[in-house]
A and B are shown apart, each in its own frame.
Chain A
Amino acid sequence: MRRLLPTALAITGALALAGCGGSGGSGGDRPELSVSASYMPQPITGEMAAGFFTLTNKGDVKDELTSVTSDAAGSVTMHETVGQSMREVTSLDVPAHGQLVFKSGGNHLMFEKLKGKPKQGEKVAVELHFAKSDPVTVEMPVKSATYNPATGH
């Protein structure tokens, strides 16, 4: 029985590392990304729209969202909100076993020069590009201009 205790502790130690220490490096592992809760509020004009989603990384390694493209827009840029100021960023981390959340009042995508004005019920195809993972295509549903994900309407 004496041996069991140190062994059990060693195992928990390893579990803890695997759970949180993405950068602690069990090398060779890859990020495992998935996208959820994506939407675009119906924009006021075709010149400017926002997009939101949640990126979840179940892998042991962090990734970085490095760019976003869409055939529906002349340009798509990523912005973060700090206090009341919005600034464009060139990449955002998707932490190992963590999430990168885009939501109103926080990180957001900014679509400019849209080809036509997206309307509620339509979908906008968006491609997410990463430092490590392959690109991911998201069919972003267009919701009402006042859509609130917390209430779902």
Chain B
Amino acid sequence: MRKKTFAAAALLAAASLTLTACGSGDSGDSPVAVVSEDTARKAATVLDQPFEKPDLVLTDTHGRKYDFRKETAGKPTLIYFGYTHCPDVCPTTMSNLAVAKKQLPKAEQDELRVVFVTTDPARDTPAELGKWLKGIDPAFVGLTGDFSTVQAGARTLGISIEPTHKDKKTGKTVSVHGTQVIAFSPKTNAGYVLYGEDASVDDYTKDLPKIVKGQNP
């Protein structure tokens, strides 16, 4: 009988091993555990060393010169680097910001600057950008211009972008956008809060009332 028990135990052990082995191969399981842990985390990262505003002088959706530092001085400001031929993260991020912004009191909505800088200026002309942003929030600012200016500005915020290009091996299009939204304080003009692509409408809705006042979320 002892051996039978042992055999059963071996079976159980083997079965659980099998389960473990399958679980790790299955992209569904382990990340889920991480995500549920993540719901307790905050979407916002308050930066120990805030970013200086990038020196970006570009063209807005009306075709006018837009000096980012000058236009947003003393205003709560959010910046994001993306492109309009982007099906997934860019429209979601901008839509999240638009919906959260609408829940601020009107006066604070008017103060807030949301700036979308294109990483694909070859396709995102002022008119294209304007058409796209109108579908999200007509008050959002869209900027386009020289790719190297955009890239240099993004780099000062720790965001690396590349021009949209064809992969040498496959010939397929490769596009790169930022996933970060950076919030600048109206008090110090410093970029002091960072959001990743996981930040939801609820996160922004909760945090924007503080950000418009330059407080830590």
Contact = CB atoms under 8 A, between A and B. Distances in A.
Interface of A: 1-2, 4-5, 8-9, 11-13, 15-16, 19-20, 41, 43-45, 47-50, 54, 79, 81, 84-90, 95, 97-101, 104-105, 108-111, 145-146, 148, 150-151
B173 A84 contact: no
Task: Classify chain B: how many residues form its interface, as a range.
Answer: 35 or more
B10 interface: yes
Contact of A49 (B4, B87, B167, B176): B87
Given A4-B7, A108-B87, A86 B14 contact: no
B17 interface: yes
B57 interface: no
Contact of A48 (B19, B84, B95): B84
A90 to B, nearest CB: 8
A44 B160 contact: no
A8 B28 contact: no
Nearest to A145: B95
Contacts of B26: 95, 97-99
Contacts of B86: 48, 86
Given A1-B3, A4-B3, A45 B18 contact: no
B99 interface: yes
Interface string B156-198: 0000111000010010111111110000000000000000011
Given A5-B3, A44-B136, A146-B95, A50 B88 contact: yes
Contacts of B161: 84
A15 B87 contact: no
B91 interface: yes
A48 B18 contact: no
Contact of A150 (B10, B35, B173): B35
B201 A84 contact: no
Given A2-B3, A44-B95, A85-B175, A50 B201 contact: no
B102 to A, nearest CB: 11
21 contacts: A1-B1, A2-B3, A5-B3, A12-B18, A13-B14, A16-B21, A20-B25, A41-B92, A43-B91, A44-B84, A44-B94, A49-B87, A50-B87, A79-B87, A84-B178, A87-B167, A97-B22, A104-B88, A105-B179, A145-B92, A145-B136
Given A15-B15, A44-B135, A87-B167, A105 B27 contact: no
Interface centre among A5, A9, A54, A84 (most CB of B within 10 A): A84
Contacts of B132: 44-45
Interface centre among A9, A19, A43 (most CB of B within 10 A): A19
A84 B22 contact: no
A139 B198 CA distance: 26
A148 B11 CA distance: 41
Nearest to B97: A146
Contacts of A150: 35, 39
A104 B162 contact: no
B85 interface: yes
A19 B22 contact: yes
B88 A5 contact: no
Contacts of A45: 131-132, 135
